[in-house]
Structure formats: structure tokens, C-alpha cells
Structure 1
Amino acid sequence: MQYKKLLVLLSCVLSSWALADVSPPPEAASGRVEKSAAIVAEKAMIVTAHPLASEVGKTILQQGGSAVDAVIAAQWVLGLVEPQSSGIGGGGFLLSHHLREGLTAWDGRETAPASATPQRFLQADGQPLPFAEAVASGQAVGTPGLVAMLYAAHQRQGKLPWVKLAEPAIRLAEAGFPVSPRLHTLLSKETRLQQDPAARAYFFTAEGKPHPVGTLLRNPAYADTLRRIAARGPQGFYHGEVARDIVAAVKNHAKAGDLSLQDLAQYQAKIRSPLCAPYRQWNVCGMPAPSSGGVAVLQMLGVLSRFDMAKYSPVSVEAVHLFSEAGRLAFADRERYLADPDFVAVPQQALLDPIYLALRSQRIDPVRSHGSQPAGQPAGVKTALAENHSADLPSTTHLVAFDAEGGVASMTSSIEDAFGSRIMVRGFLLNNQLTDFSFLPEKDGVPVANRLEGGKRPRSSMAPTLLFNRQGEAVMAVGSPGGSLIIPYVAKAILALTDWRLTPQAAANLPHYGSRNAATELEQGQGLDTLTEALQQRGHSVKLLPMTSGLSIIAKQADGRLIGGADPRREGVVAGF
């Protein structure tokens, strides 16, 4: 109860700072929203992974800000209150639809230092390093891309002043925010964060225990960093004192990395061509490479389009079977072909060609699983690549927003593992995204597409997605954290919104299942174990595991009203007006 009381108090404080003309509903500020309730808004809406971030995003929308403005302001808050998942020390992907500029895919993925080599994560005997050893290391840190990406998006699609978007997070950092139950739980399980002196002093008591739930944490260092970014834009982050401190922290780590001032100074966010494909009467658009999320989600929908998914219950053995078989096909292609398109010829259009997907779909037996599937051979693809595997961990966040003018934003951001590289600088944690590269640079003498190379962006599974109706209007926004499980999380949410006609909240509440081209995975504790025997009879090897998704969903109704859904597995809430 103390945590909820503090959230309500902070809501009052935010209102006293004149951040909004209309205060948020008490249940939105306190996190007491029932996850079965339908949250409806007339004009604008945002969904994030934390009540305070949603409240700030709503305030920005009320002040006339764009959807991009709202996710920027909310992201600065998430970097403070949800530091284990995302922040300015990491990167992300943003898909935005602006009435004037149309659909834009923003790539703020981290890059490997220029001096990085493919053998970085190999031991002396040529075998890959244990993953845990590689993560908590200066060698795992890539050049952060989030600040550059969000600034570039704001320059094109922002309405409120850039400096104004940082003010709520700066004030919260100075006044303090209450430690949430999720942050406390993750700190309780953490064993390597205490090795960093700054992180140990901030997150833990003098006795080395994580601060209790509800403890007010103040982060003046983060406030100072945000002030520099607010005043100077990317120059305040990629140059000067902040950049020097980032490089020093990486190079002075016990497992020193090679990130340089030049790497930071030369970083550029990229605008890429969004990937779009039809599904039923909708046009579904996602993020292109170096994320694999867009291709894989669209492939799953494409191969399922020949099946009448609407006639099956969302938790029936038929739905689980077909969805899992579609996942096998998508993940087989993902492992073979997806990587940074600036380094590898990624056949994205060929992988989404309707003829190719129709042929791949024929590999799905409606009643029998044939186990792991091989990668396909899209037309015109001649490059020989070895299949590659990387960890792609689930400590990530997702935000979606609709503004009052019809603009939409769907953004996934991440520092990769929980608490990233465990290196804290100026109030924020640095990423460990280089461990998203394949540790083995080649297989049987054949290069791996996702091998580590200087300046390269590691493959991701992030899948910010927008759906458009036949009139070209953006009507749904969806995304989730979850590592490579993001792909089935998002694909199933789209099925729930389209074929099964569920509300966003009902879609987020659904139990998870799917296959990443190995076992058929069922979410623990959701009653899906009752399907195990029937699935095994169909040839499935079944595995139960926890699936802590963090779906954020908004759908626009025919009357123009917005309905939102926040995943009950995390602390997110819907906020709108």
C-alpha cells in the first residue's frame, strides 16, 4: 500500500508543477487499474510500462504534444523508474505515423565500436564465452542510439519544445520516485550489479540489500544528464563530459571494452523503409532489419492467412498448433537471413513475397507437427550464410501513443539484459547489446550473418507494429518486450485484435504460446498445461516456461474513440483523455 500511496502523492506533485490542466484518474496514477477493465479515451492515449511514465505521456498529449513527443517524455521517465529495462544508455526502434509525413521507421540501434572484431566473445579454445560472463563487461557495451533517434524523430514530428519533454523526468529524478515491486524483485535476484560502485550506492542499502518497495530514490546525476541533453540535444550526450565519462567507465571496467569518443561522436540514427504486408483487410507495418521482428511477425501472419483462425478459440489446441508451426517457419528464416542490412544482403522483400509465403505455408500440416523446420530459399537469394543464434534477452520496454491529431507512435527500447552491462554512468545504466551478436562468427567455414563487426548493429527481435485500415488510417498500435519471444507475443496480439476481435486488454491478458523452431512453448501458470497431451499427440514437444511479456496496445474504434490495454504481467497502465 505504501508504494501506491507514494504514486498518488507524486501524481499530486506532478499536477502542482502545472504539467497538466486535467489530473489523471486516481486509478491510473496509482496503478490500481483492473486489467479486465476497458480504458477508453476520446482524443489521445498512451500506454507505457509504468504509471508515472504513462501519466507524464498523457500530460504531454494534453498540452498539444504529438505522439512522438509523448513517447519521448515517457521514455525519459522510464529510464529513471524502470532502469533495468531501457534508458539513454541503450537503443531502440520507433515506428511513427504522421499525417503530413506518413509512416517512418526510426533505427536507434546500438553500434559496435569501430575496433570490434568477430572473435570478441570467443575463448582461447575457440569456444564461445559463457553468456553471463560476456554480459557484465565493458566489452558488451555498444554505442547508445536512443538519444540520437528520439532527437531526430522530434526534429521531424515533434510539436512541443525539445527542452520541455525532459522537464517531468528531471523533476522526478530530483524529488525522488518510489521503488516499484518489480524493480525491487529484480534487484533482489541480481548478483552482479553490486560490483559497480555507483550502482551499488544507488540501488542498495549500506548493508547491500535492495531498497524496500516504496523507498524514494533520488537521482540528481540523471537529472543533470537530462538537462545537458535538453539544452544541447545529442551534443549534450555524444560529446563533452557525458561522452568522456561513458568511455572512461567502459575502458576502466575490469573487463575493459573499446568504446571510444569517436564511436560516440560518429553515431547516427537512421531512417529506414518500413515493412508492410496485408493481413485480411488490414495493412500491417513493422520494423525492418536490423530488427528481425518486423519480418518474422509479417511472415507468421502471412503463412497463417490461408487458415480461418477466427473459427478457433484463442486457447484451443488448434490455434496453438497452427500458431506454433508458423513460428517455426519464421524463426528458421530469421536465424539464416536477418542481420544488419548495411553489412549483409538481407532479402526482406523476398522473405515477405506472397508467393514465397504461400509455399512456406504449405509446410504446415493442419493436424500434425513436423518439428523444427529448415530455412526457406526465397527467389533470387544466392548468398550462402550460416544459421546464427544469439541470446536476445527480455529486459526491454514498449510504448504506444495516439495523439489528438491522429498521429501514432509505437516504440520498443532496451538496454538488453536486466540492468544491461551493470555499468552505471551519470545516473543511467549502459547497455550490453553487443551480446546480441552471434558469439560464433562462422559455422563450418561459412560466415554468420549476425557476426560481430566494427560499426555494425546487432540483430534484434523488437517489433513495434502499426495496423492500418483500407482507408490508410492507423487504427492499431502494438508491441512488447520479451527478447526473441517478442515475435510470438506481437503476432498473437495481432491475431487477437483482428481474427478474434478481442479488446486490447483482453488481447494482452491472453496466455502465451508458440515455437521458436524448437519446442512448443506454453506459458506457465495460465492453464495451458491442459493442452500438453493433445499437442503431444499432434507431434509437439512441449515445454512450459514463464513468459513475462509487456504488451502495450491501443486500438482506434470506428467512432474514433481509443481503447487501450496494458500487460498484467508488468506494471504498465493506460492513460488517456
Structure 2
Amino acid sequence: MKSTLIPLVSLFLISFAPSLLAQATQETREPEATTGIVQQQLTRFSTAMVSAAHPLASDAGERVLRAGGSAIDAAIATQLVLGLVEPQSSGIGGGAFILHWQADNQALTTFDGRETAPAAAGPYLFADHGKVMSWREAYVGGKSVGVPGVLKALADAHQRYGQLPWESLFTDAITLAEQGFTVSSRTSKQLAMGWNSGLKQLSPAKEFFYPNGSSLLEGATLKNPAYAALLRNIAKEGVSAFYQGENAEAMVKTVQQAAINPGSLALSDLANYQAIERDALCVAYRVYQVCGMAPPSSGGLAVLQMLGILEHFPLAEMQPNSAQAVHVISQASRLAFADRDLYVTDPAFGHVPLAGLLDPAYLKQRAGLISAQDQMATAGIPLGAEAQATSKAVEFPNTSHFSVVDAKGNAVSMTTSIENVFGSGLMVNGYLLNNQLTDFSLAPRDGELWVANRVEGGKRPRSSMAPMMVFDADNNLRLVIGSPGGSRIINYVALSIIAILDWDLDVQQAINLPRFTHRNDYLALEQGTPLAELKESLTAMGYDVRIQDLNSGLHAIEVQAKQLEGAADPRREGKVSGF
């Protein structure tokens, strides 16, 4: 299969002007040569490991692992601390996708903790008298809040795979919330820049994040007694203390009586919420099996489509940071995004032609569309496709990812989010509520066609979160990886997998690499890195090139024969902890 398309690659590389080939060769850099980013070093431990976006969260997970906890036990402790110390990115007011690997019986499953739309929500939720709201009008306040799912998904996973008592997993988060923690540089900067307009308008978030009218400063000690009190209740009573009773009543009141965009969240929405255990999506790539989430996440599907397309190209012969590699990977991304935007929705509400989209013959045909020049991609027609309209929903990069491997070789890859930075701006009992309903298409129709990813009561919005795992030819776990980054997650994760499997980089070198993304719109190159020097040559190939900050947050663990190798993205404040 590979040999039929390799000549195509040769043809378009030869078609580059000689000067362009020379320039591309000169612009190739070693992985460690990224400038403008402080390079992290590979971390090795022999037994167990957590890689997360904040040191306090990683350390909390490590303590659980040292106490004999499972990967899912550590994931719970890590998430509870992340929601406290990195509230702009994730928390119990949001949702998550979880991949879980059980080593003793080699079983992979996933837990869908994605938020759902309230039962009363309909296709025209974000349409005011026929005029569709802009995303900036829609995300603040109650209308954008979906039913939170992260706690229910974690509780379901713990019931299956937990080793330590539920209550014991809350200790670190409660202690930090009561005694206080140090405000990070990233949190302080995001508050100072005012990235969420709702925070300064909506109480109690306004008073919490802007005490005395000024944003929290880096290095300040912040306590959250309301969060601690709620966690004590959830630790003692289980997740019913979140989805029912006083907390549920407070959440519903906050959403329905929001000063901006009041919403329709009801007590019944919370009481009826269910996380869903789903089969993972897996495809062969080279000699590996790569696995991710099924819809309503588009992330796993799009990454797998990219890899299925790129398998027809000799990536190992291309250099990291070269124009050739950027071009081929970007074109594969364009094709995957075209399919993603048309076909992916909550499978309980619409047909997603998964088998057709991942069919090797279909992906081979898509690979054949890649030429020497950048060109707009249109969705293909896989087997089982149905007519519908394309959805362009806004997704922002304020999410978190962590990876865990425990002492028995069990693993968790979990991406968790409240969507926009600081979510909807609404705060209840010390945690922020998500604005995930803006991940639906705000416009439900395009002419006569319904958009697949439109709002419907009880529906889960499309996501780009892409927690992934990679297995070798003997079905041994090789890699646990994922990233925040809105819809750019797909590109961040795919590039890192390619760097490890095709370019033989270690996991930290892969994550240190400069980032580039293409979402079937324009080519973004990470500013302050050698990739920015490719702008002229890539523009000559027809690309609309923009130099941008590409703030990924990849956290990954590679499983070696005698040790674990962990990596944290230098673009955030993460840390690898273990023993």
C-alpha cells in the first residue's frame, strides 16, 4: 500500500524550485534547537509516573501512587487539585474524556464525561430573534453552561478500577484549598489581561479573582474554603453531593438567574446526567496501534485520519522542522478537518460514518489528493455519509491534559476542560462553570440543511480533545499522551506521535518541537522558533502563513522496557512526578 503513493511524494518534492529545496534543508533544525521556549529535560522513573500541567497536581497524583493507588485513583487526585490551582483550564464544573488501560488483562476502554445540553435547550439557543449571537456574546453567563460531567466519569471509572477509598483521594485538594496555594504566573497573567470578560462582571468570581478590584498577583497565597467544604461533602457522600442537594440547587440558581445570558439548567438535568463508557477508536499505523476517543470527540478520529493519510508518505525520511514535513502534515490535517467539520456530532443524535472515515481505502484516496501546493480541502464522501451542513464551532485553548502510569502498568490519558479561559465566568461553591455549549454550532442550519453539531436537549457538543494511547506490535503500552489547545489539539497530538514513532525522538524532544497547525483555514507557525523562518518558503507554496503563539500543553509518558520516560510541555507550568 505504501509503495503506490511514495512516487507522489517524490513528484511534489522534486517540483519544488531548487532554491526552495536548498532553503528547506538549511532551515532544518535539531529538535533541541527551538528558541524562545525553555527546553525541558526528559524525566525517568522506574515504577510509576504522573505528568500534569501544575506541579501541585502532579505531586498529588504521585502521593496517591506511592500509597498503592491505581492510575485512576491518581487521576482523581490530580484533577481535584488542577481545578483548584489551574481554575482557568479545568475543574469539577466541566467535562473530560478518559482513556483507561488495564494492564493485567490488556483491556482499553474510555469514559465520556462530556457535558450535555439542558433538556430545555434547542437548536436556536444562541439565536436572538433570528439573529445568531457571536461567540463573544454567547460564552459568558448561564446560557452556555452544560451539565458538568467530569466527576461522574471519574466516579464511574473509580468504581471499576480504583484501589484506594474514594474519600482518601480528596486530601491534597482539601488541604491546599484550606491552607492556601501560590498563584502561578500563568493564572496571574491571564487575569491581568482580562481574557474572560465575565469575571469582572459576575459575582462571586469577581471578588475571588479580582479582590479589591485588582487581579490576583503572581506569588500571592490564595485560599478557597468554599471548594474545600464542597469536596469534603463529595468525599463523604459521593458524587450525589454534587449532582443533587444544596450544590445542585446553587448551580441551577446561578445559571437561571445569571446577570448575563440566563440559562435553562434544571435540577433534573443534573440528577439525570450519565457518563458513558465507550469503546476506543483504534487504527494501525506503521507497526503500532494508535487509539483515542470516539465521538462526540472529533479529536481521536481526526488524529487517526491524519495518521492513516500520512502512512502513505515516508515521514521518517523527512526532517523535523523542515518545509517538507510541515507541508505534508498540514495537508493531512486540512483533509481531516474538512471531514471533522461536516460529519462529527454526538452519535446519540446523528449518524457519524466512523467505519467509512477510517477505512484504509478511503484514507488512501484522501492521501492521493495531496500535491505540491497548499489547497483548500473539502470533505470526502466516505461509506455511510449523509447530507448535512458544515459546522464551524469556536474552541479555545484553555483545557488541561495529564497522563498517568501506575506501578502495575495501568494507565490513564485524560483531557479535561471548562472550555474558554475561566469558563462561563459563573462560580458556585468555589469552582467555575463551563461554557461548553458554545462548542455547538451557534447557527443550527445552513440553508435547507441542518448542521450535525447543532444544539439539542441532552446532546453532547463536539469536542477536539484527543487523549491518546499507542501500543506496539505485541499490544504492549508504548505511549500515553494528550494536550489542551482547542481545535489545535489535533495538530499538537498528531505531530508529537509522528515525532516519536517516525522520527525516533524521545517523548520530551517531541514535545519540545516547535508547533505548527492547519485547520483547513491557514498555516500557523509558532513564533520565536525556527519554524517562523519557513514563512517565506511556505508562502511561496501557496500557504496563508501566520506567526502565532501556539500554547500547547502536552503531557506524556513513554513506557520503555525497564523504565518510564515522562515529559511536560515547556509552554506551560507542568511537571513530571514519580518514583
Q: Tell me the alpha carbon deviations over residues 529-575 of structure 1, each in whole angstroms, 9 at most, x when there is no partner.
A: 21112112222221222111100011011x33011110011000111
1:113-128 aligned within 5 A:
113-124=118-129, 126-128=130-132
Matched position secondary structure for 2:393: coil
Query: What's 2:328 paired with?
Result: 322
In structure 2, stretches of 5+ residues that fail to align are: 1-36
2:517 to 502, 514, 519: 514
1:305 and 2:311 are equivalent in the alignment: yes
C-alpha displacement of 1:527: 2.6
C-alpha displacement of 1:243: 0.3
Letter in 2 for 1:96: H
Query: What's 1:391 paired with?
Result: 394
1:334 and 2:334 are equivalent in the alignment: no
> In structure 2, what is the Cα distance between the partners aligned to 1:62 and 1:493?
29
C-alpha displacement of 1:296: 0.1
1:504 to 504, 507, 527: 507
Query: What's 1:194 paired with?
Result: 200
Q: 1:93–1:107: 8 Å Cα contact kept in structure 2? A: yes
1:200-239 aligned within 5 A:
200-206=206-212, 208-239=213-244
1:268 to 246, 261, 274: 274
1:280 to 273, 283, 286: 286
C-alpha displacement of 1:404: 0.6
Q: Tell me the alpha carbon deviations over residues 472-517 of structure 1, each in whole angstroms, 9 at most, x when there is no partner.
A: 1111000000000000000001001110111111111111113101
Query: What's 2:174 paired with?
Result: 170
Query: What's 1:374 paired with?
Result: 378
Matched position secondary structure for 2:361: helix
> In structure 2, what is the Cα distance between the partners aligned to 1:88 and 1:200?
19
Matched position secondary structure for 1:416: coil
Q: Tell me the alpha carbon deviations over residues 250-300 of structure 1, each in whole angstroms, 9 at most, x when there is no partner.
A: 011022100000000000000111100011111000000000001000000
> In structure 1, what is the Cα distance between the partners aligned to 2:247 and 2:285?
45
1:454-465 aligned within 5 A:
454-465=457-468
Matched position secondary structure for 2:132: coil
1:360 to 362, 366, 377: 366
Aligned residues: 539
TM-score (normalised: structure 2):
0.92
1:245 to 244, 247, 250: 250
2:495 to 492, 495, 511: 492
RMSD: 1.2
Matched position secondary structure for 1:87: coil
1:553 to 545, 552, 556: 556
Q: 1:333–1:376: 8 Å Cα contact kept in structure 2? A: yes
Query: What's 1:59 paired with?
Result: 63
In structure 1, stretches of 5+ residues that fail to align are: 1-32
> In structure 2, what is the Cα distance between the partners aligned to 1:328 and 1:271?
30
> In structure 2, what is the Cα distance between the partners aligned to 1:131 and 1:216?
33
Query: What's 1:541 paired with?
Result: 544
Q: Tell me the alpha carbon deviations over residues 211-253 of structure 1, each in whole angstroms, 9 at most, x when there is no partner.
A: 2211111111001111111112121100000000000100110
1:295 and 2:298 are equivalent in the alignment: no
> In structure 2, what is the Cα distance between the partners aligned to 1:40 and 1:218?
33
> In structure 2, what is the Cα distance between the partners aligned to 1:380 and 1:421?
37
C-alpha displacement of 1:194: 1.8
Letter in 1 for 2:270: L
Query: What's 2:424 paired with?
Result: 421
1:120-139 aligned within 5 A:
120-124=125-129, 126-139=130-143
Query: What's 2:9 paired with?
Result: none
1:181 and 2:155 are equivalent in the alignment: no
Letter in 2 for 1:110: E
C-alpha displacement of 1:119: 0.5
Query: What's 1:91 paired with?
Result: 95
Query: What's 1:564 paired with?
Result: 566
Q: 1:323–1:514: 8 Å Cα contact kept in structure 2? A: no
Q: 2:355–2:383: 8 Å Cα contact kept in structure 1? A: no
Q: Tell me the alpha carbon deviations over residues 162-187 of structure 1, each in whole angstroms, 9 at most, x when there is no partner.
A: 11011110011000000000000011
1:477 and 2:483 are equivalent in the alignment: no
> In structure 2, what is the Cα distance between the partners aligned to 1:457 and 1:560?
41
1:349 and 2:355 are equivalent in the alignment: yes
Matched position secondary structure for 1:152: helix
Q: 2:342–2:390: 8 Å Cα contact kept in structure 1? A: yes
C-alpha displacement of 1:54: 0.5
Query: What's 2:15 paired with?
Result: none
C-alpha displacement of 1:137: 1.6
C-alpha displacement of 1:204: 1.9
Query: What's 2:48 paired with?
Result: 44
Q: Greater shift after overlay, 189-198 or 294-303?
A: 189-198
> In structure 2, what is the Cα distance between the partners aligned to 1:339 and 1:100?
34
Q: Tell me the alpha carbon deviations over residues 339-360 of structure 1, each in whole angstroms, 9 at most, x when there is no partner.
A: 1000010111210111110111
Matched position secondary structure for 2:465: coil
Letter in 2 for 1:372: M
Query: What's 2:14 paired with?
Result: none
Q: Greater shift after overlay, 286-295 or 540-549?
A: 540-549
Q: 1:35–1:566: 8 Å Cα contact kept in structure 2? A: no
Q: 2:291–2:300: 8 Å Cα contact kept in structure 1? A: yes
Q: Tell me the alpha carbon deviations over residues 356-406 of structure 1, each in whole angstroms, 9 at most, x when there is no partner.
A: 1011110011x322x21110001232x211111100111100010111101
2:413 to 410, 414, 417: 410
> In structure 1, what is the Cα distance between the partners aligned to 2:356 and 2:227?
44
Q: Tell me the alpha carbon deviations over residues 23-68 of structure 1, each in whole angstroms, 9 at most, x when there is no partner.
A: xxxxxxxxxx974322100001110000000011111111111111
> In structure 1, what is the Cα distance between the partners aligned to 2:84 and 2:114?
20
> In structure 1, what is the Cα distance between the partners aligned to 2:62 and 2:510?
22
> In structure 2, what is the Cα distance between the partners aligned to 1:436 and 1:368?
31
C-alpha displacement of 1:100: 4.5
2:265 to 259, 262, 272: 259
Matched position secondary structure for 1:140: coil
> In structure 1, what is the Cα distance between the partners aligned to 2:70 and 2:388?
42
Q: 1:94–1:409: 8 Å Cα contact kept in structure 2? A: yes
> In structure 2, what is the Cα distance between the partners aligned to 1:134 and 1:34?
36
Q: 1:340–1:458: 8 Å Cα contact kept in structure 2? A: yes
